[in-house]
């Protein structure tokens, strides 16, 4: 596949055309674009038109667009259609210097090349599965939810690429490695890549947080912004300008953002230049320590980006005093380190260093091209359909007779919340269930009353109660486990009725037709987007006119996938509510994505 990569910045567009062997057939850059470059500057659309013109007769099978902000919507690259375009547009307020231009470029390129796939490769996607504890700011969560305030992380394309290259050079699987990748350039960020996944990264809700950058401040006490606003001397735009354009190496040194100039001035004794270097280095080292602690160790530290690749002195300063971590720099190797091509890498630690440090050349364009090929190929693969998931906490269904014995002859169930399946509801009534070892209090009754008793628990509950409950489809309780129920008005000893519910998907006949399955079929379901991807086999298909499409799993299964609980009666929707239904009969490789 010949892929045109378009990397759109706020005032420039870089492009590379790769052939099927990842050779760069054509490349170039158009600069000084857009509103920040003056009134008569070329627009991004004009730049794209000129780039497409310059391709001449070259073959292009797909276009990969770098998109800075995909928010929490995207865990991976996407073929660009109307919903993807809309999602990029929704993120414009969060990435005002990037997303509008990417969108303009995408629209122009799609207009000019309407018959081929265009793929969005997001800087945020690699970080989208960071654990919740790392994503969450400690502010009022209602405010956070309302305004989408969470840590997204950026530079993901570069961190993912650098981690992959490091694993290759270290000749170890990425899944075995705890890496700290440092992308140090005009923009700078650090990422903890723990067994192949980003579990912490220094940029946050916007690309402003974290390390010291060329002109961006990185971490600043939010109280400072409040003070400056209250002073009346700064409005929001001035603060924006201060933190994004007048800070970082530039603000510290007072002589611009090019590190080479700052290093020269520092060597000549300029104290501001020296301070700029010290603050930059200190911050980076601090993050390395933090990420090693967060991961419980580190196997390698990877430098990339203009500064990371080129400045031996900055690498040396950053790695100083990290011997306690087991990272011992080899100064000769560090000075000799040179990474001119993708095939280059340089190990800069000594043979006795337990933690390796290495330098790799970032190649975001190649990563975007690879992602584009992968995404287009996947889109052509057999369709996978998605189904919402609900997590069933333990609950019971009772007969009229059992209900009367537990709650009194004149009692009737008290509905308190409708469930997603039509006609089903959670009741105010709860029972205690008592096993040989322990009891569980407050097990919710679901209505309406049924012809047979059924108590559904998880495997963990089984151990707690000291019972052995079979895995059964709902309604199939013959020969299942006995259990004692305690209500406010009486006790009932059930001879059978205790089961672990067989995970299942409710669907209407029309859904079944779309999925190509029938009632009673068993399928596999890949759950992605939680904290831990999980493929569940033996998922039962239940088809009925009255069902709503939904997969039901129990709390053990939800915990295994790292899915969280929301609240919807006893069946609570998870915050990750999409699973991919994979047809039975597909082979293992089809299951993996």
Residues forming the site for ligand AMP (CB under 6 A): 185-186, 214, 257-260, 305-307, 310-311
**Minimal distance, residue 262 CB to ligand AMP, in Å:** 8
Residue (95 or 539) nearer to ligand AMP, CB: 95
Nearest Cα neighbor of 284 from 219, 220, 211, 349 is 211
Contact present, 189 and 160 (Cβ < 8 Å): no
The residue written with tokens 């996607």 in the block is 125
Residue (276 or 398) nearer to ligand AMP, CB: 276
Catalytic annotation on 123?
yes
Assigned token pair, 15: 């492009």
Side-by-side strand order, sheet with 300-304? 197-201, 188-194, 178-184, 300-304, 356-360, 345-347
**Minimal distance, residue 259 CB to ligand AMP, in Å:** 4
Residue (263 or 474) nearer to ligand AMP, CB: 263
Residue (311 or 334) nearer to ligand AMP, CB: 311
Exactly one of 53, 57, 115, 123 is catalytic; which is it? 123
Residue (185 or 529) nearer to ligand AMP, CB: 185
Residue (42 or 258) nearer to ligand AMP, CB: 258
**Minimal distance, residue 430 CB to ligand AMP, in Å:** 60
**Minimal distance, residue 371 CB to ligand AMP, in Å:** 20
Q: Strand locations in 286-424, DSSP E?
A: 300-304, 345-347, 356-360, 385-387, 389-392, 395-397, 415-418
**Minimal distance, residue 241 CB to ligand AMP, in Å:** 20
**Minimal distance, residue 188 CB to ligand AMP, in Å:** 8
Residue (158 or 559) nearer to ligand AMP, CB: 158
**Measured distance CA(99)–CA(105) in Å, rounded:** 10
Q: Which residues contact 503 (CB under 8 A, 6 or more apart)?
A: 536, 538, 539, 540, 551, 552, 553, 554, 557
**Minimal distance, residue 214 CB to ligand AMP, in Å:** 5
**Measured distance CA(472)–CA(175) in Å, rounded:** 36
Contact present, 359 and 521 (Cβ < 8 Å): no
**Minimal distance, residue 33 CB to ligand AMP, in Å:** 17
Contact present, 250 and 256 (Cβ < 8 Å): yes
Determine what percent of the chain falls in helix, strand and coil, rounding each to the nearest 5. Answer: 35, 25, 40
Contact present, 539 and 522 (Cβ < 8 Å): yes
**Measured distance CA(361)–CA(341) in Å, rounded:** 7
**Minimal distance, residue 254 CB to ligand AMP, in Å:** 15
Assigned token pair, 497: 């009725």
Q: Is the peptide bond before 448 cis (omega within 30 degrees of 0)?
A: yes
Residue 480 zone, left/alpha/beta (φ > 0; ψ -120 to 50; rest): beta
Label each residue of 528-563 as H, E or C: CCCCCCEEEEEEEEEECCCCCCEEEEEHHHHHHCCC
Q: What is the DSSP letter of 42?
A: B
**Measured distance CA(86)–CA(10) in Å, rounded:** 20
Residue (185 or 447) nearer to ligand AMP, CB: 185
**Measured distance CA(16)–CA(28) in Å, rounded:** 7
Residue (127 or 155) nearer to ligand AMP, CB: 155
**Minimal distance, residue 307 CB to ligand AMP, in Å:** 4
> Cβ atoms within 10 A of the Cβ of 383, count?
10
Long-range Cβ pairs for the range 275-281 (8 Å, 24+): 276/212, 276/249, 276/252, 277/314, 277/317, 279/212, 279/252, 280/211, 280/212, 280/249, 280/252, 280/314, 281/314, 281/317, 281/318
**Measured distance CA(98)–CA(382) in Å, rounded:** 34
Q: What is the dihedral of CA 268, 274, 277, 278, to 10 degrees?
A: 150
Residue (305 or 413) nearer to ligand AMP, CB: 305
> Cβ atoms within 10 A of the Cβ of 567, count?
9
**Measured distance CA(454)–CA(394) in Å, rounded:** 11
Please identify every residue annotated as catalytic.
123
């Amino acid at each position: 596949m010949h892929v045109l990569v378009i990397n759109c910045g706020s005032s420039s567009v870089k492009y590379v055309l790769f052939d099927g062997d990842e050779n760069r057939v054509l490349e170039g850059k158009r600069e000084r674009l857009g509103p920040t470059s003056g009134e008569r500057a070329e627009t991004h659309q004009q730049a794209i038109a000129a780039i497409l013109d310059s391709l001449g007769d070259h073959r292009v099978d797909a276009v990969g667009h770098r998109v800075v902000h995909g928010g929490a919507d995207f865990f991976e690259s996407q073929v660009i259609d109307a919903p993807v375009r809309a999602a990029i547009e929704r993120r414009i307020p969060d990435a005002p210097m990037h997303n509008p231009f990417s969108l303009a470029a995408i629209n122009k390129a799609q207009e000019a090349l309407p018959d081929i796939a265009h793929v969005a490769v997001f800087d945020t996607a690699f970080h989208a599965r960071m654990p919740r504890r790392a994503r969450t700011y400690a502010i009022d969560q209602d405010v956070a939810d309302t305004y989408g305030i969470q840590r997204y992380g950026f530079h993901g394309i570069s961190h993912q690429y650098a981690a992959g290259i490091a694993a290759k050079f270290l000749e170890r699987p990425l899944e075995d490695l705890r890496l700290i990748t440092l992308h140090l350039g005009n923009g700078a960020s650090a990422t903890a890549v723990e067994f192949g996944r980003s579990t912490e990264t220094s940029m946050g809700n916007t690309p402003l947080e974290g390390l010291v950058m060329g002109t961006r401040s990185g971490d600043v006490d939010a109280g400072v912004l409040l003070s400056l606003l209250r002073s009346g001397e700064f409005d929001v735009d001035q603060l924006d300008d201060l933190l994004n354009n007048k800070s970082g190496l530039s603000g510290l040194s007072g002589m611009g953002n090019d590190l080479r100039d700052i290093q020269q001035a520092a060597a000549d004794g300029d104290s501001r230049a020296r301070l700029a270097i010290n603050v930059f280095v200190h911050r980076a080292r601090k993050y390395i320590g933090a990420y090693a602690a967060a991961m419980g160790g580190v196997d390698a530290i990877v430098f990339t980006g203009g500064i990371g690749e080129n400045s031996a002195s900055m690498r040396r300063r950053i790695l100083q005093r990290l011997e306690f971590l087991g990272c011992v720099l080899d100064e000769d190797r560090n000075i000799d380190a040179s990474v001119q091509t993708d095939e280059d890498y340089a190990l800069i630690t000594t043979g006795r260093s337990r933690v390796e440090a290495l330098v790799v050349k970032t190649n975001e364009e190649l990563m975007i091209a690879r992602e584009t090929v992968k995404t287009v190929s996947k889109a052509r693969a057999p369709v996978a359909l998605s189904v919402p998931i609900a997590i069933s906490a333990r609950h019971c269904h009772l007969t009229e007779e059992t209900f009367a014995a537990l709650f009194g002859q004149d009692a009737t169930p008290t509905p308190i919340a409708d469930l997603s399946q039509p006609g089903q509801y959670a009741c105010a009534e709860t029972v205690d269930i008592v096993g040989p070892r322990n009891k569980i209090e407050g097990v919710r009754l679901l209505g309406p009353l049924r012809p047979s008793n059924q108590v559904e628990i998880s495997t963990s509950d089984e151990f707690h109660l000291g019972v052995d409950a079979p895995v059964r489809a709902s309604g199939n309780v013959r020969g299942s486990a006995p259990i004692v129920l305690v209500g406010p008005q009486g006790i009932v000893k059930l001879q059978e009725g205790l089961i672990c519910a067989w995970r299942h998907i409710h669907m209407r006949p029309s859904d079944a037709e779309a999925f190509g399955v029938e009632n009673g079929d068993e399928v596999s379901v890949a759950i992605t987007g939680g904290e831990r991807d999980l493929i569940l086999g033996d998922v039962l298909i239940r088809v009925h006119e009255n069902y709503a499409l939904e997969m039901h799993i129990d709390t053990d299964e939800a915990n295994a996938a790292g899915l969280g609980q929301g609240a919807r009666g006893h069946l609570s929707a998870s915050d990750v509510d999409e699973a991919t239904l994979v047809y039975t009969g597909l082979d293992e490789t089809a299951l993996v994505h």
